[in-house]
């Protein structure tokens, strides 16, 4: 096995009991879900939407409406703090301004959020291993999270190797994955006229959420004994995966 194939083997054919396998499987499950952009609230579902999208929206429409209303209340509270009289807050002009402001903010969020669902679409290869660009993205995202805690390539490798029964990835594997994905991300960000940070943000937030899901799943009696990819599939089989992910996204990001 040449050095390049040896490197790819460790990355794309990881131990199914490892944390790396959990992160990969959770990311695949997340990106396979019907997706409505939560940043664009309130949501109008197209008439030609698939049954899966319609069912997904019906399940989450109350939350979507609540998010929109919370944004309106927050803006009105700011106006009130600035001294705007209560009766003026109910005027059509102010209501129109608030709606337009929310739409403008959400349009920017939509651009960033949408990028997360147009990356590394190939995940599984014919031989059952994972596609290298997809794995690089998963590793890069977790490395970015841990880097914010003052940790580096070695810490990332050790964390992703937890649960593995065979030699896992090394700090060099992490470093090469980070550099490889960074090149792709910089190129894609430039094509979207975005800063690199804006392009990478959705994956960073997703990695924080998946990390929180892993911590919680390890405490669940219903998932006792499961590890790695089996643990991720266990979450999907025993719980509402979308709900678990959304909750982890909020908790993992301090919401």
Instruction: Calculate mean pLDDT across residues 66-87.
Output: 82
* pLDDT attached to residue 112: 55
pLDDT band at 198 (very low <50, low <70, confident <90, very high): low
Looking at the domain assignment, is residue 45 inside a domain?
Answer: no
The whole domain housing 56 covers: 51-115
Q: Are residues 26 and 58 in the same domain?
A: no
* pLDDT attached to residue 217: 94
Q: Are residues 107 and 13 in the same domain?
A: no
pLDDT at 33 over 80: no
Q: Is 140 exposed, middle or buried (0-12, 13-18, 19+ CB in 10 A)?
A: buried
> Which two structure tokens, joined as six digits, stand for 7?
């490197």
Question: What torsion do the CA atoms of 167, 172, 177, 178 make, to the nearest 10 degrees?
Answer: 130
Please write the tens of the pLDDT for every residue from 97-147: 888 887 777 666 665 555 554 554 555 555 556 678 888 889 999 999 999
Angle at 62 between CA 28 and CA 223, to 5 degrees: 40
Q: Are residues 24 and 61 in the same domain?
A: no
Q: Are 52 and 34 in contact (CB under 8 A)?
A: yes
- Bridge partner residues of 130 (DSSP): 124
Q: Are residues 104 and 131 in the same domain?
A: no
* pLDDT attached to residue 3: 45
Q: Are residues 153 and 217 in the same domain?
A: yes
Instruction: Calculate mean pLDDT across residues 187-213.
Output: 75
Q: Are residues 63 and 141 in the same domain?
A: no
Please write the tens of the pLDDT for every residue from 122-136: 555 555 566 788 888
Domain count within the chain: 2
Instruction: Calculate mean pLDDT across residues 50-63.
Output: 74
Looking at the domain assignment, is residue 46 inside a domain?
Answer: no
Looking at the domain assignment, is residue 70 inside a domain?
Answer: yes
Alpha helices per DSSP H over 196-240: 196-217, 228-238
* pLDDT attached to residue 186: 77
User: How far apart are alpha carbons 198 and 83 in whole angstroms?
Assistant: 34
pLDDT band at 248 (very low <50, low <70, confident <90, very high): confident
- Residue that is last in its domain, among 69, 95, 115: 115
Question: What torsion do the CA atoms of 173, 157, 22, 209 make, to the nearest 10 degrees?
Answer: -110
pLDDT band at 4 (very low <50, low <70, confident <90, very high): very low
Q: Are residues 103 and 132 in the same domain?
A: no
User: How far apart are alpha carbons 199 and 114 in whole angstroms?
Assistant: 10
More confident residue, 45 or 83: 83
Q: Are residues 238 and 151 in the same domain?
A: yes
pLDDT band at 236 (very low <50, low <70, confident <90, very high): very high
Phi-psi region of 220 (alpha: psi -120 to 50; beta: other; left: phi over 0): beta
User: How far apart are alpha carbons 159 and 67 in whole angstroms?
Assistant: 35
* pLDDT attached to residue 40: 59
A 10 A CB-CB count for 238 gives: 14
Range from 72-76, 171-175, 185-189 that averages highest in pLDDT:
171-175
Q: What is the mean pLDDT of the chain?
A: 79
Looking at the domain assignment, is residue 43 inside a domain?
Answer: no
- Residue that is last in its domain, among 62, 84, 115: 115
Range from 30-39, 162-171, 183-192, 198-207 that averages highest in pLDDT:
162-171
Q: Are residues 13 and 72 in the same domain?
A: no
Q: Are residues 69 and 129 in the same domain?
A: no
Q: Are residues 165 and 196 in the same domain?
A: yes
Q: Are residues 222 and 135 in the same domain?
A: yes
């Amino acid at each position: 096995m040449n050095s390049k194939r040896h490197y790819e083997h460790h990355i794309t054919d990881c131990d199914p009991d490892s944390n790396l396998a959990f992160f990969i499987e959770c990311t695949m499950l997340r990106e396979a879900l019907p997706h409505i952009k939560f940043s664009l609230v309130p949501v109008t579902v197209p008439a030609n939407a698939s049954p899966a999208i319609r069912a997904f929206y019906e399940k989450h429409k109350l939350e979507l409406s609540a998010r929109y209303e919370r944004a309106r209340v927050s803006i009105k509270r700011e106006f009130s703090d600035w001294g705007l009289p209560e009766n003026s807050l109910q005027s059509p002009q102010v209501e129109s301004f608030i709606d337009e402001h929310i739409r403008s903010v959400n349009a920017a969020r939509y651009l960033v959020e949408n990028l997360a669902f147009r990356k590394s679409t190939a995940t599984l290869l014919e031989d059952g291993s994972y596609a290298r660009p997809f794995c690089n993205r998963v590793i890069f995202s977790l490395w970015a999270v841990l880097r914010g805690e003052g940790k580096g390539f070695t810490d990332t490798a050790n964390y992703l190797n937890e649960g593995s029964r065979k030699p896992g990835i090394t700090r060099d594997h992490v470093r090469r994955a980070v550099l490889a994905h960074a090149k792709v991300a910089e190129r894609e960000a430039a094509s979207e006229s975005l800063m690199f940070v804006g392009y990478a943000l959705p994956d960073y937030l997703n990695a924080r959420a998946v990390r929180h899901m892993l911590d919680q799943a390890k405490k669940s009696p219903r998932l006792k004994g499961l590890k790695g990819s089996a643990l991720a599939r266990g979450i999907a089989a025993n719980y509402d995966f979308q709900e678990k992910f959304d909750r982890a996204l909020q908790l993992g990001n301090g919401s």
